[in-house]
Amino acid sequence: MDEVQQATLYIVTQGAYLHRDGQAIVIEIDKKPANRLPMHLIESIACFGRVMVSPQLMEACAEALIPINFLSEHGRMLARVEVPGAGGVRIRRAQYRRADDAAFKLATARAMVGGKIQNARGSLLRSARDLPETAGESAEALRVAADLLGVAIERTALAATLDELRGLEGDAARVYFEHFSRMTPNAPGGLRFGKRTRRPPLDAVNALLSLFYSICTHDCAAALAMAGLDPSIGFLHEERAGRPSLALDLVEEFRAFLVDRFVITLINRKQVGEEDFVLRPGGAVELKEAARKRLIGEYQQRKQEKRVHPYLSQEAPLGRFASLQARMLARHLRGDIAHYVPVVFK
């Protein structure tokens, strides 16, 4: 029998209404059915902006262990409807105990940050290889930056405190983003990256990064919940009301390979243009709704690409890697494996 691939349902049309009809999710736009999807094909639901979900569908999703996240129109997490303990109480008790263990917390956070920086280094080196011979200076600059990240990886393994580790992560991120524009050498002026800005993003590239980081965080939160873990209790990110700290921990290792490379490809292949963005009062730059819908579809296609998991040696769609890592983290918390191994893409 062929494997049935579940997917995240992203709803971005403003005013959309989701309800249940038997074992199907019906999406209505302007009070007219626009789509109908079998529930067993849906892994999680992300609602952006003014999207309504019926209580009956919420109940059905809870019974089917399908988490629902509500985000702002442009990706900021607002609220989530969690599944009721998909993995039972024992794994969460283990998670809470481990979160109070300073040594365990630091070791796990080291692994996650190390994975993040290794993937960022790999992104720089890939772009250095992809640049034409005429861009030798930029290629060399990317290789030098990658060497700096190599040093940072070694230092993270020796970090004595979480504050020191966070400082090393911040330094590595600055080096990486200082060279981000070299990875999109032919971008038009409106798609040239200056520096990382958030809340709000102040240019088109930051708008893309922020949106897809938020989507990836949603996917990680859903994967963690399905593995029985509490997405709010993390190791690297401090706990804060309403903050999915563990999802923010897990997303770190996916930022460079899954999101950054996706955004870089969009720009280099001219799949997104300056006309796809709008400048809001106060300086915020946002994707237009039509472009947001189109690019989220492209991201879904990206998640269907298959790769061999470097540690588990099994092939899976990229969109399943968050679930694989969440399950590995759960095994580590239970004590089934000695170390958490981040996914490092080749």
| DSSP per residue, 82-109 | --S-TT-HHHHHHHHHHHT-HHHHHHHH
Superfamily of structural domain 7-81: CRISPR-associated endonuclease Cas1, N-terminal domain (3.100.10.20)
Looking at residue 5, its pLDDT comes to 46
Please give the average pLDDT of every successive group of 10 residues along the chain, which has 346 residues. 56 90 92 89 85 92 85 76 68 92 96 97 94 80 96 96 96 96 87 86 93 92 86 90 90 95 95 90 87 91 89 86 92 91 90
- List, in order, residues 6 or more apart from 154 with CB less than 8 Å away: none
| Domain residue ranges of the chain, discontinuous segments joined by + | 7-81, 89-334
Token output for 100: 């109070």
The answer to whether domain 7-81 and domain 89-334 are alike in fold is no
pTM score = 0.84
Looking at residue 69, its pLDDT comes to 82
Angle of the 204-226 helix axis to the 321-334 helix axis, nearest 10: 50
Top CATH class, 89-334: mainly alpha
**Strand-strand pairing, 52-53 and 17-21:** parallel
